[in-house]
Structure 1
Amino acid sequence: MYMQSFGEWLYETPISTMFRDITWIIPAVQSTHLLAIAVVIGSALVMELRLAGVLATDEPAGTVVQRYLPWIWRALVVLLLTGTLLVVAEPARTLGNTIFWTKMALVLVAFVLTLVFRRPLLRAPGGHAAIPAKPIAWLMLLIWVVVIFCGRFIAYT
């Protein structure tokens, strides 16, 4: 009930109204959000497939992580900013939506797993840390795929 009343209040704020009234804002923010998703998913795909032993196996894992992890962090910042703008513009579409909260929980899980299991590869000698890279890589890929599906389903639930 709290989310619904908060969403109703947010919808009536001048900033929310402005985002909806200026016709180009929401499409521009959604487009930027989608581009940032592409950067996260593309970078995660290359990084995780390397760690799963499928792609770029001639390069040390740490080198691949060092190349792509900064792209993920920057794109996640853009996603946070654009996602916040989208929630402010259309709070009813997201705040009461279970799929939205599932997506947010999965993004948080992916963020934490990346911090715990990927950042150590940046400091490990030769780019090899003592972690079970393959199973975590496949889990991370699965999480990102589910995040994408959840993002698309937000519009339909």
Structure 2
Amino acid sequence: MFIQSFGEWLYDTPISTTFRDITWVIPAVQSIHILAIAVVIGSALVSELRLAGLIATDEAPGNVVRRYLPWIWRALIVLLASGTLLIVAEPARTLGNTIFWVKMALVLGAFVLTLAFRRPLLAAQAGDAATPAKPIAFLLLAVWVVVIFCGRFIAYT
């Protein structure tokens, strides 16, 4: 019940009303959100496929992770900011939606897994770290794909 009453309160705030009243705000923020998702997925795809040993095998895994991980973190910050704006603009659409909470749990899980399994690569000298198991790389890719699907399904549930 707290989430529902919080959502109703948030919906009635002046900033939420302003976001909804200015017709270009929500589409612009959604576009930025989607572009940031593309950066996360693109960077994760290259990193995970390298860690799975499928691409760029001539380059040390740590070097690939060092190159793409900053892109993931920056894009996640943009996703957090744009997602927060979308929640403020349309709280009922998200806060009361189970799919939204599944998406948030998956993003948190991917974040934790990325930190846990990339830290040894970042700490190691180039070429010193062993490549993590393929299943972890594919699991992270799968989680990001499910996050995308959840994001799309929020609009339909």
* Number of positions where the alignment pairs a residue of Structure 1 with one of Structure 2: 157
CA distance in 1, matches of 2:139, 2:68: 18
Instruction: Look up the equivalent residue of 1:151 and give its one-letter code.
Output: G
Question: What percent identity do the matched residue pairs reach?
Answer: 81
- The TM-score, its normalising length taken from structure 1, stands at 0.96
Q: Unmatched 5+ residue regions in structure 1?
A: none
* 1:124-143 to 2 correspondences below 5 Å: 124-130=124-130, 132-143=132-143
CA distance in 1, matches of 2:127, 2:8: 49
- The TM-score, its normalising length taken from structure 2, stands at 0.96
Check whether the contact 2:52–2:131 (CA below 8 A) recurs between aligned residues.
Answer: no
Instruction: Look up the equivalent residue of 2:146 and give its one-letter code.
Output: V
Q: Unmatched 5+ residue regions in structure 2?
A: none
Check whether the contact 1:117–1:131 (CA below 8 A) recurs between aligned residues.
Answer: no
2:146 is equivalent to residue 109 of structure 1: no
CA distance in 2, matches of 1:13, 1:61: 48
Residue-by-residue CA offset, 1:45-84 (whole Å, 9 max, x unaligned): 0000000111111111001001100000000000000000
Residue-by-residue CA offset, 1:95-135 (whole Å, 9 max, x unaligned): 00000000000000000011111122111123443563312
2:44 corresponds in structure 1 to 44
1:87 corresponds in structure 2 to 87
Instruction: Look up the equivalent residue of 1:87 and give its one-letter code.
Output: I
Q: Residue 126 of structure 1 aligns to a residue in which SS?
A: coil
